[in-house]
Structures are given as C-alpha cells and as structure tokens.
Chains A and B, each alone.
Chain A
C-alpha cells in the first residue's frame, strides 16, 4: 500500500504535478485505481486502524477528485498552494466591476416584474460571455505563473476568481 498523508496536496495524491492544466484522463484513471485500492469494503475485516485509514483515504480521494475535476475549484486550490504564506486581498475586483454587477442585478429585478423574456435571454448570453472571458483570462494568468511571474499575478488570479463568483450568482438568477 502506498503511504499517503493528509499534508500532501491533492495533485500529489493523484500522481499529478500541481498545475492549472492537468491531464483529466490521468486524473480519472488514478481516482478509479486508488478508490478501488482503498475502498472500505475491502477493509471490513481489517484492524481498527487500517479500517479508519481506508475511510479517511476514501473521503480524501472523493474530495480531491471533486476539487481537481472542476476548473474553478482547481484554480482556487492551486492559487492557495502557490500563494503559500503570502497574503492576498481576497475581496479585490477590477474597477467598476461591482457597480456593473449591481446594475445587472437591478435589471434582472425589473425583468422579473415586467417579464421581458427576450431581454432576459440577452442578459444571460451577455453574462455567459463574460464568464467565458473570465475563464480564458484565468488560463492565461496561470500560464504566466508557470513561467515564474510575480506575486501580483497571484493577486490578479484571486481577483479573477472573485469575478466568477459574482457572475455565477447573476447567472443563477437568470437560469
């Protein structure tokens, strides 16, 4: 059995190098193999310690897989690893972004009252486009980090991830 401890990160857990771009097929295969290897069903008759370890490993594998499989969760997780002891401003947003979100949210309110379906579709398409642009920007920012960019890029990624939260929230109302 492979020795793994919780202080290792999720990338290592699945035998991956910590990076934004990962081989999803390799992740799927490693998840399947390790889940089978540590499945609590196989430890039903094992000692208490071994049983507990199998349960702990299974929980960790599930959580790690969930995080790495999602592009945005993986980004947030990787940012956390990369920033290490550095402090980032966790609320920073591009100038004017909050005002823009507020105005869009107000418009969604108005639409709910007057039921303009065509305008709702338009807003939804607009928000989805913004979200795609945010994700594309994130990919480019992480590419910079891999080339050894400064701490300010990490802050830009934090700000980028913040934008996504607001856009997702807005899209939730337009669904």
Chain B
C-alpha cells in the first residue's frame, strides 16, 4: 500500500513537533493511544483569549498517525477553541487520502484534539472555581 504524497510530506517534514509545558495553565494536553497497533500520540495546545495560539505534537506510530497529528496541529493553530472541536477525523482522511485500514489513525488524531481541548477547559474551570 502506498502512502499519499501529503502523508509523505507530513511524515518527512512533520509540522509542530515538540512539547509545551503541561503545567502551564494555558496549555491543554491530550494523550491517546491505539491498542490495535500500539501507537501513542501526545497533542498539546496553548490557548490565549479562547484562541489556540500554538499546537505541538509527538507521535510514536506509523506514517499515517504522524501525518494525521501533524495536520491536526496545523489546522488547530489560530482557531477559536470551540472550532477546534469541529475537526472531524473524516476531514483528515479526506485531506490525506488515507486508505480504510488507516482510518483509525485519523480517529486517534481527533481523539487527541478533543482530549487536549477538554484538558484545557478542565484546567480553566478549576482556576475559575478556585478564584470564587
């Protein structure tokens, strides 16, 4: 099975690899895994005024998993936080032309986005309730 050009591009030059300080109150961290293959994906966002100003990822997995998370960080940057939740795995499948056997890689990326945003929201809610 051949990878699409876009997958190869993201695999060879992954965007936004790295990590943000998970203890920063403006940073949300999503850590997800795919038991089918043992892939592990960490995706982080930095939020200012409800806008995602930075996103980083690190994925231990196949080319499609790396490309899916790389693309996800690209799409997240600059988006209002609630719009980030609208990114669907099917959008990733379409953009990267993923074959059916690699759809779970895009699901993993969607799960990571949700986990990161929820982690950030949880933190923000905790800070708010602590301030009350």
Q: Which of A91, A102, A161, A168 contacts B40 (CB 8 A)?
A: A102
B33 at the binding interface (Cβ < 8 Å): yes
**Docked CA distance A93–B32 (Å):** 10
B58 at the binding interface (Cβ < 8 Å): yes
Interface residues on A, range: 10 to 19
Q: Which of A98, A106, A161 contacts B33 (CB 8 A)?
A: A98
Contact, CB under 8 Å: A101 / B33: yes
**Docked CA distance A99–B31 (Å):** 7
Chain A residue contacts of B130, Cβ below 8 A: none
Question: Tally of A-B residue pairs with Cβ under 8 A?
Answer: 38
B36-70 vs A, CB cutoff 8 Å, 1 = contact: the mask equals 11111010000000000000001010000000000
Contact, CB under 8 Å: A90 / B35: yes
Contact, CB under 8 Å: A166 / B40: yes
Interface residues on B, range: 10 to 19
What distance in Å separates the Cβ of A172 from its nearest Cβ neighbour in chain B?
A: 8
Contact, CB under 8 Å: A102 / B38: no
Grouping DSSP codes into helix (H, G, I), strand (E, B) and loop, the A interface class, with mixed when no group exceeds half, is helix
Q: Which of B32, B36, B37, B58 contacts A98 (CB 8 A)?
A: B32
What distance in Å separates the Cβ of A64 from its nearest Cβ neighbour in chain B?
A: 22
Chain A residue contacts of B38, Cβ below 8 A: 165-170
Chain A residue contacts of B34, Cβ below 8 A: 91
Chain A residue contacts of B39, Cβ below 8 A: 169
Chain B residue contacts of A102, Cβ below 8 A: 31, 40, 42, 58, 60
A155 at the binding interface (Cβ < 8 Å): no
**Docked CA distance A122–B19 (Å):** 26
Within 8 A of B (CB), among A127-175: 161-162, 165-170
**Docked CA distance A108–B60 (Å):** 11
A105 at the binding interface (Cβ < 8 Å): yes
What distance in Å separates the Cβ of B82 from its nearest Cβ neighbour in chain A?
A: 25
Contact, CB under 8 Å: B35 / A101: no
Chain B residue contacts of A167, Cβ below 8 A: 38
Query: CB-nearest residue of chain B relative to A93?
Result: B33
Chain A residue contacts of B42, Cβ below 8 A: 102
Given A105-B40, A165-B38, 16 more A-B residue pairs with CB atoms under 8 Å apart are A90-B35, A98-B33, A98-B40, A99-B31, A102-B31, A102-B40, A102-B58, A102-B60, A105-B60, A106-B58, A161-B35, A166-B33, A167-B38, A168-B38, A169-B37, A169-B39
What are 8 A-B pairs with beta-carbon distances under 8 A? A91-B35, A98-B40, A101-B40, A161-B35, A165-B35, A166-B35, A166-B38, A169-B37
